[in-house]
Amino acid sequence: MVAINKIFVATIATYVSTTNALSIIEPIQPFLQKAANLFGSKVTEVEISTFQNAFGLDDRPVPGDSPIVQCEVHSPQILNLQLVSIDPNPPARGANLTFIAEGYLNEDVAEGAYVDVDVRYGYIRLIHQTFDLCEEISKVDLECPIKKGKQTITKEVEIPNEVPPGKYIINAKAFTKDDKFITCLTAVVDFPPA
């Protein structure tokens, strides 16, 4: 679990560019709001985003051999993740996991950037924490400011033998110090029984 957290932080910390597209939910947003009004509530962008993600409408697989997908791709982001490869795939308990990521950083990322990480074991939330992005990237041999341009990172992490079997769902959203959306990454990793 700690290793998977490190993978997401390393990926987010390293690669950035812009993705712009129209959301397919936008045309039905007024309808969603009218339906919510019947129950005396307001539909927020977060709820709409969750609605899209429930059907995989706002995800884009990241090229390479990994379970990582870029989420919320219809929201403006400053990340162009071009490749994520992990070995072994799927990750295995008690094994070293080699992680390779390549991408393009469209602008510098300065001190104060942060990443919100949510890790679930099935439906049970294990971690919901905000990390200092610059502090975390120092653990993968990078430092802030992360300069604009092509970036490559290779990292090996150990996955503890004690990781319980089951499905882990990891979601990470990164933001600049000014709350500009860097990226959203998610993965589902299933550790089978021993």
For residue 146, the domain's CATH number is 2.70.220.10
In a domain, residue 157? The reply is yes
pLDDT of the residue at 56? 58
In a domain, residue 164? The reply is yes
> Between the CA of residue 75 and those of 50, 72, 104, 107, what are the distances in Å?
13, 6, 18, 17
In a domain, residue 37? The reply is no
In a domain, residue 43? The reply is no
pLDDT of the residue at 13? 40
Q: What is the mean pLDDT of residues 20-49?
A: 45
In this predicted structure, the answer to whether residue 8 has a pLDDT above a threshold of 90 is no
Whether the CB-CB separation of 188 and 33 falls below 8 Å is answered with no
pLDDT band at 97 (very low <50, low <70, confident <90, very high): very high
Reference 19, options 194, 181, 133, 169; nearest CA is: 181
The tally of domains found in the chain comes to 1
Q: What is the mean pLDDT of residues 2-30?
A: 40
In a domain, residue 28? The reply is no
In this predicted structure, the answer to whether residue 169 has a pLDDT above a threshold of 50 is yes
pLDDT of the residue at 139? 83
pLDDT band at 58 (very low <50, low <70, confident <90, very high): confident
In a domain, residue 6? The reply is yes
In this predicted structure, the answer to whether residue 3 has a pLDDT above a threshold of 80 is no
Query: What φ, ψ does residue 193 adopt, rounded to 5°?
Result: -60, 150
Residue 105: exposed, middle, or buried by beta-carbon count in 10 A (0-12, 13-18, 19+)?
A: buried
Q: Where are the alpha helices (DSSP H) in 15-148?
A: 29-38, 45-54, 133-137
In a domain, residue 10? The reply is yes
Q: Write out the residue range of the structural domain in which residue 126 sits.
A: 2-23+58-191
In a domain, residue 68? The reply is yes
**pTM of structure:** 0.70
